[in-house]
Amino acid sequence: MHPMLTIAVKAARRAGSIINQASQNLDLLTVSKKSHSDFVSEVDGAAEQAIIKTLLSSYPDHAILAEESGHQGDTTQSEYQWIIDPLDGTTNFLHGFPKYSVSIALKHKDVLTHAVVYDPTNNELFTASRGGGAYLNNKRLRVSKRIRLEDCLIGTGLPFRDLTHMDAYIAMLVDIIPRTVGIRRPGSAALDLAYVAAGRYDGFWEIGLAPWDMAAGCLLITESGGLVGDLEGNATQLESGQIVAGSPKIFGQLLQVIAPHLTPELIAAQKAAEK
Ligand code: IPD
Ligand code: CA
Ligand code: CA
């Protein structure tokens, strides 16, 4: 394992033990609301600080983008930036619904190079390094082999905070449901993407994500032989927050079903995100 990935794994496991410990006493947590349906607890902050401390103690010059504390360090000075979601699926965590994860990715010169998604409930560690493949614990991952959407299980995320694209999203959902064997919405986008990499889902789409929800999952998928892009298949997902992922065959079929439901606003958001 590359030394940088080893440190990221150490950081993710430290965050995971903070999360697991806190999950034993959910009633004791102080929870505050960032915005409509957007909750944060002291666990998010404590897990994030543990991750940042672990990363910076080995790599003090690296820059950070973390959900709770924002930017740290200067990306014009450092070629490296860690992208961190200390607890992806906070709402699930607060309800004792055991689907949440820790997500850590490293970008080098703006290219995703290492990724960790850790599910502390099941002790499942998903890792990837650019060019080195993706793994679940020690097992090499491949995306699913299914080739027809009608045989597929598809993951998604329902809009719940920003409802701007609700109508377009519902139109996509209504069109996709009867073309598949089922849809799942567990509530941790980072873990959803790891499940695509592991072939547990055949595909996934969501609107309105942040870079820390997706960065690690994107590398896991491409390193498992899958494809990831925005709702038109272009590589703006980290900036536009609109994502489609899947095995190469299913990625294309999902894009085709989604295409008629793209609104001018969704297309404009993707255009604006193009580099
Ligand atoms: C959320 C989860 C969820 C997705 C939301 C995210 P958080 O992350 O990934 O699945 O639908 O859009 O914000 O807030 O729990 O870290
Ligand atoms: Ca998140
Ligand atoms: Ca989070």
3-state SS, one letter per residue, for 38-61: EEEEHHHHHHHHHHHHHHHHHCCC
Residue 186 and residue 252 in one domain: yes
Residue 57 and residue 130 in one domain: yes
Is there a contact between 15 and 119 (Cβ–Cβ < 8 Å)? Answer: no
For the CA of 213, the closest atom of ligand 1 is: 9
Indicate the length of the chain as a whole number. Answer: 275
CATH code of residue 204 = 3.40.190.80
Whole domain around residue 206: which residue ranges?
149-274
For the CA of 185, the closest atom of ligand 1 is: 10
By DSSP bridging, strand 243-246 and strand 203-206 are: antiparallel
- Tokens 């109508």: give the residue: 167
CA–centroid distance, residue 210 to ligand 2 (Å): 7
Identify the pLDDT of residue 34: 72
Residue 175 and residue 216 in one domain: yes
Residue 124 and residue 171 in one domain: no
pLDDT digits (tens, 9 = 90+) for 201-230: 999 999 999 999 999 999 999 999 999 999
Residue 134 and residue 210 in one domain: no
CA–centroid distance, residue 151 to ligand 3 (Å): 32
Identify the pLDDT of residue 101: 98
Domains in the chain, number: 2
Identify the pLDDT of residue 37: 67
- Ranges of residues in the chain with a pLDDT under 50 are none
Residue 136 and residue 160 in one domain: no
Alpha carbon nearest to ligand 1 atom 2, residue: 188
Q: Which helix (H) or strand (E) holds 271?
A: helix 264-273
Write down the pTM of the prediction: 0.96
- Of 140, 158, 186, which closes a domain? 140
